[in-house]
Amino acid sequence: MTQEEALREENRALKAPVAELLPLREEVARPKEQVKSLQDRLAKTSQTSSKPPSSDALGRLPRATRHPSGKAPGGQPGHRGHTLMMVQTADEVISHRPQACQHCQQPLACVAGELVERRQVLDVPEIRLLVREHQVEAVVCPKCSGISRGTFPAEVSAPVQYGPTIQALAVYLHQGQLLPVARTCEVLAGLCGCLLSEGTLEHWVEQAAERLLPTVNRIADLLAQSPVLHGDETGIRVYGMLHWLHVCCTESLTHLAWHAQRGKEAMKDIGIWPRFAGRGMHDRLASYEPNLTTVIYTWTASDFSLAHQEVKKVSLTGNKAETTEKSLPSRQWVNCYIVLVVTIVTAIPFF
């Protein structure tokens, strides 16, 4: 065998394992591409893509870059300030008078004084549990010797229990101030020595929800009868799963309800929009429109961006005016929007 033939044989021997490794290389590259695709999808947020804000995770949003305004810190000229004001009648008055004359040391205990200056300190009293004991008495009738026994109030049903004020405070901290259950119990224990269990707090919340149900239903009825109604929905996490928080509100009333769905099914279950026949203000979600005779769309800053080449539609009392950003120059688009705003304001005389 010549040297050239030996080199060719060696080359063939080296190519054989390489040929076996090539399919494995492709198999390794394919999962890498899939992992990169999934990482890119997870990295997308409402700030970097067209995804809605409700799809964002619960992580902290990136801080916006702020530029110096050139204004001095604090209240600006014309700002209406707020300060503590004296009350007309104090709950407690502490008098500070001299016991003796500062010049000759003559005792002044029996000498009438004159008020020359006053100052007030606003504070809360010491927070502690107030124990109010209820006692039932038995009385023997002097005429027939019968024994009559008193009765406890209906709300006093246990030998030892918490009163309505501490219950209201606990529900307010948990529901109104959004403290977690464990943190609410910890706060009450630290403030007033109330050793409350998490199960008791959850029971109080359920009781409050039952008692407020007529009020919530009344708010829903008033919103359904209002001439103008604003609606919106945003994503929330319930046990780690995406749900939707639906809001219906006017200037004086607000109704909040969460649902697993965002569209027609949720609105039907909540029961406000199917009964509403006035002017609705919303963000162009299609589920609102079948229930309304007049629709007023709310416009956001993104609607002004010419980067989104979408068709913007507005419906007023059945008349539709369509404008397409892609087919209109910037100045013409602005003029169309001005005409649109004027039309909306003219159509709503009570705004």
* DSSP state letters, 168-228: HHHHIIIIIS---HHHHHHHHHHHH-----HHHHHHHHHHHHHHHHHHHHHHHHHHHHSSE
Per DSSP (E only), the strands in the chain are: 138-140, 147-149, 228-238, 241-249, 254-259, 279-282, 294-297, 311-316, 319-324
Question: What mean pLDDT comes out for the span 119-130?
Answer: 90
SS3 label, residue 237:
strand
Instruction: Identify which of 109, 160, 169 has the alpha carbon closest to the alpha carbon of residue 134.
Output: 160
pLDDT at 149 over 80: yes
Q: What was the pLDDT predicted at 345?
A: 58
Q: What was the pLDDT predicted at 307?
A: 29
Question: What mean pLDDT comes out for the span 151-165?
Answer: 93
**For the chain, percent of residues with pLDDT exceeding 90:** 43
Q: What was the pLDDT predicted at 321?
A: 40
Q: What was the pLDDT predicted at 317?
A: 39
CB 308 within 8 A of CB 255: no
Q: What was the pLDDT predicted at 335?
A: 59
Q: What was the pLDDT predicted at 58?
A: 62
CA distance 38 to 275: 43
* Residues 75-94 pLDDT 10s: 788 877 778 889 999 999 99
Per-domain boundaries in the chain: 161-225
* Residues 288-333 pLDDT 10s: 765 554 445 454 444 433 323 333 333 333 344 444 444 444 555 5
Q: How confident is the model at residue 38 (pLDDT cuts 50, 70, 90)?
A: confident
Question: What mean pLDDT comes out for the span 255-262?
Answer: 92
The separation between CA 41 and the C-alpha centre of its own chain, rounded to angstroms, equals 27
Question: What mean pLDDT comes out for the span 252-261?
Answer: 92
CA distance 109 to 99: 6
**For the chain, percent of residues with pLDDT exceeding 70:** 76
Q: How confident is the model at residue 96 (pLDDT cuts 50, 70, 90)?
A: very high
* Residues 210-239 pLDDT 10s: 999 999 999 999 999 999 999 999 988 888
SS3 label, residue 2:
coil
Tell me the average pLDDT of the chain: 80
